[in-house]
């Protein structure tokens, strides 16, 4: 197993931090933004050039009404709400387009696509069974702290996912079914649930990060696993060698940890609107939050599939904390050998119950 190597993580952490700090700056300097006061350049809008009578205006028919506003019109305001100094913001048009067209389509295609792909996979490949059958000897895999971290994160995520999807798709899917009067309270409670469940989600996420980071550092063996796609797409049993976590699980770990932290960051920024950035920044933050939500939802569907119906013996690991010996040999040979050397294999027909360990 690879020793814990924080140095390897450094570039990753730096990259993430840089991205997060670049975001509000990029958002502030969006195209067409006119600085307060104008900055001495061209006038903010047509018509500001002069206020002297013009020979072009002879009759009422010459007076323009519908002057185009293509850029952002920014001014000064005497009330203490800087967000209101923006007179006209064109970004709302793009944000509306994203929220009502792109997000609905992307979200629908990604989520339904993931479900369809899993169904196809299930009928084509079927559950991945334990080749040699169950050994009925048990290898401890996740202790109670591991499982607490996992299920806290998982329940938090599912609550966040469902309550978020109510906001995204409820208007088109649920209002026609239940009507405006019942949907509004549901959406209201979803909003509260969304904010409340962010707490267990983030705590569980940090706990998982601390507990499992050392087993999720990429190694050379992961390349082999990736090249064979983990044996997922071969009908006969192919199990590339792997340690406690294989490359697929490591990928999921990093997606969930980094994606989840990005969700938390963007989510908390959405909960404190305009504290750190202006309207364009808020729109970008929302777009990141919503798109990443769709991606993570699809990824988690895959994770739930492989952890339940998709693979024999996999659920025991997070359910009871132990796995069948043959499952361990087939899926995590390297890790199994270590457990053997440490003498951790538990004999006995009966699966160890909670509290036995």
Partner 1 sequence: MARMVFLCDGERCIECNACVTACKNEHEVPWGINRRRVVTLNDGRPGERSISMACMHCTDAPCAAVCPVDCFYRTDEGVVLHSKDLCIGCGYCFYACPFGAPQYPRATLFGSRGKMDKCTFCAGGPHADNSPEEYAAYGTNRLAEGKLPLCAEMCSTRALLAGDRDEVADIYRERSARRGYGSGAWGWSVAYTADRGGAYAPGGRALEEPERTS
Which of residues 141 and 194 has its CB atom nearest to ligand HEM in the complex? 194
**Is 279 among the residues that bind ligand HEM (CB under 6 A)?**
no
Q: Using CA atoms, how far apart are residues 183 and 91, in angstroms rounded to an integer?
A: 29
The single residue among 16, 20, 26, 88 that binds partner 1, judged by CB under 8 A, is 88
Asked whether position 164 contacts ligand HEM by CB under 6 A, the answer is yes
Conformational region of residue 136, where left means phi above 0, alpha means psi within -120 to 50, and beta covers everything else = left
283, 297, 326, 339: residue in contact with partner 1 (rule CB under 8 A): 283
Question: Based on CB atoms, which residue is closest to ligand HEM, 88 or 206?
Answer: 206
Q: In the range 179-198, which residues lie near partner 1 by CB under 8 A? A: 180-181, 183-184, 187-188, 191-192, 195
198 touches, from ligand HEM, partner 1, none (C-beta below 5 to 8 Å by class) = ligand HEM
Binding at 165: pick from partner 1, ligand HEM, none (beta carbon under 5-8 Å per type): ligand HEM
Residues in region 210-269 near ligand HEM by CB under 6 A: 263-264, 267-268
Residues 292-321 that bind ligand HEM (CB under 6 A): 293, 296-297
* Smallest separation (angstroms) from ligand HEM to the CB of 155: 12
- One of 4, 21, 105, 274 touching partner 1 (CB under 8 A): 274
Look at residue 293 and give the partner it binds from ligand HEM, partner 1, none, a contact being a CB closer than 5 to 8 Å depending on partner kind. ligand HEM
- Applying CB under 6 A, which of residues 134, 137, 191, 344 lies at the interface with ligand HEM? 191
Q: How far is CA 91 from CA 43, 46, 77, 130, 337, in A?
A: 20, 19, 20, 54, 57
329 binds ligand HEM (CB under 6 A): no
279, 37 contact by CB (below 8 A): no
Q: State the Cα–Cα distance between residues 264 and 195, nearest whole angstrom.
A: 10
Report the candidate in 267, 124, 273, 298 with the shortest Cα–Cα distance to residue 202: 267
- Identify what 220 binds: partner 1, ligand HEM, none; CB under 5 to 8 Å per kind: none
Which one of residues 16, 26, 85, 173 is an interface residue with partner 1 (CB under 8 A)? 85
Cα torsion for 56, 59, 62, 64, to the nearest 10°? 110
Q: Among 7, 242, 13, 236, which residue's Cα sits nearest to residue 126?
A: 236
CB atoms within 10 A of CB 38: 13
For ligand HEM, the nearest residue by Cβ is 267
Residue 81: burial class (beta carbons within 10 Å; 0-12, 13-18, 19+): exposed
Position 41 contacts partner 1 (CB under 8 A): no
Strands 138-140 and 86-88: unpaired
Candidates 16, 99, 104, 206: give the one binding partner 1 (CB under 8 A): 99
Closest approach of ligand HEM to the CB of residue 18, in Å: 21
Which one of ligand HEM, partner 1, none interacts with residue 67, CB within 5 to 8 A by kind? partner 1
Contacts of residue 193, Cβ cutoff 8 Å, sequence gap at least 6: 159, 163
Binders of partner 1 in range 299-338 (CB under 8 A): none
Measured from the CB atom, the residue of 7 and 177 that comes closer to ligand HEM is 177
Among residues 167, 192, 193, 158, the alpha carbon closest in space to that of 297 is found at 158
Report which of 141, 144, 163 is spatially closest to residue 152, judged by C-alpha positions: 144
Nearer to ligand HEM, 130 or 292 (CB): 292
d(CA 214, CA 197): 27
Site membership for partner 1, residue 86 (CB under 8 A): yes
175 binds, among partner 1, ligand HEM, none (CB under 5 to 8 A by kind): partner 1
- Long-range contacts formed by 73-79: CB under 8 A, 24+ apart: 73/34, 73/44, 73/45, 74/33, 74/34, 74/35, 74/36, 74/44, 75/36, 75/44, 76/36, 76/37
201 counts as binding ligand HEM under rule CB under 6 A:
yes
């Amino acid at each position: 197993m690879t020793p814990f190597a924080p140095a390897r993580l450094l570039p990753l952490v730096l990259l993430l931090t840089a991205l997060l700090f670049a975001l509000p700056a990029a958002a502030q300097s969006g195209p067409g933004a006119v600085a307060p006061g104008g900055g001495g350049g061209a006038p903010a809008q047509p018509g500001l050039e002069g206020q002297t009578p013009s020979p072009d205006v002879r009759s009422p028919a010459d007076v323009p009404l519908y002057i185009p506003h293509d850029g952002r019109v920014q001014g000064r305001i005497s009330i203490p709400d800087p967000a209101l100094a923006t007179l006209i913001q064109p970004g709302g048009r793009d944000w509306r387009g994203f929220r009502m067209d792109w997000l609905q389509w992307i979200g629908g295609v990604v989520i339904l696509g993931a479900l369809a792909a899993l169904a196809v996979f299930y009928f084509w490949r079927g559950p991945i069974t334990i080749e040699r059958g169950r050994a009925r000897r048990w290898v401890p895999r996740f202790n109670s702290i591991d499982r607490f971290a996992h299920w806290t994160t998982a329940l938090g995520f599912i609550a966040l996912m469902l309550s978020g999807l109510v906001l995204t798709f409820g208007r088109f899917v649920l209002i026609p079914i239940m009507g405006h009067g019942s949907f509004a309270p549901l959406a209201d409670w979803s909003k509260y649930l969304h904010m409340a469940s962010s707490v267990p989600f983030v705590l569980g996420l940090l706990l998982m990060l601390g507990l499992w980071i050392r087993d999720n550092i990429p190694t050379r063996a992961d390349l082999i696993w990736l090249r064979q796609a983990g044996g997922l797409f071969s009908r006969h049993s192919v199990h590339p060698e792997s340690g406690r976590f294989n490359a697929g699980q490591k990928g999921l770990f990093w997606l969930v940890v980094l994606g989840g932290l990005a969700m938390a960051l963007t989510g908390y920024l959405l909960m404190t609107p305009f504290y750190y950035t202006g309207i364009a920044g808020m729109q970008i933050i929302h777009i990141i939050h919503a798109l990443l939500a769709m991606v993570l939802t699809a990824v988690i569907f895959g994770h739930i599939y492989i952890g339940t119906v998709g693979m024999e013996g996999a659920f025991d690991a997070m359910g009871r904390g132990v796995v069948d010996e043959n499952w361990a040999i087939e899926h995590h040979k390297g890790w199994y050998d270590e457990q053997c050397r440490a003498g951790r294999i538990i004999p006995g027909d009966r699966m160890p119950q909670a509290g036995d360990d």
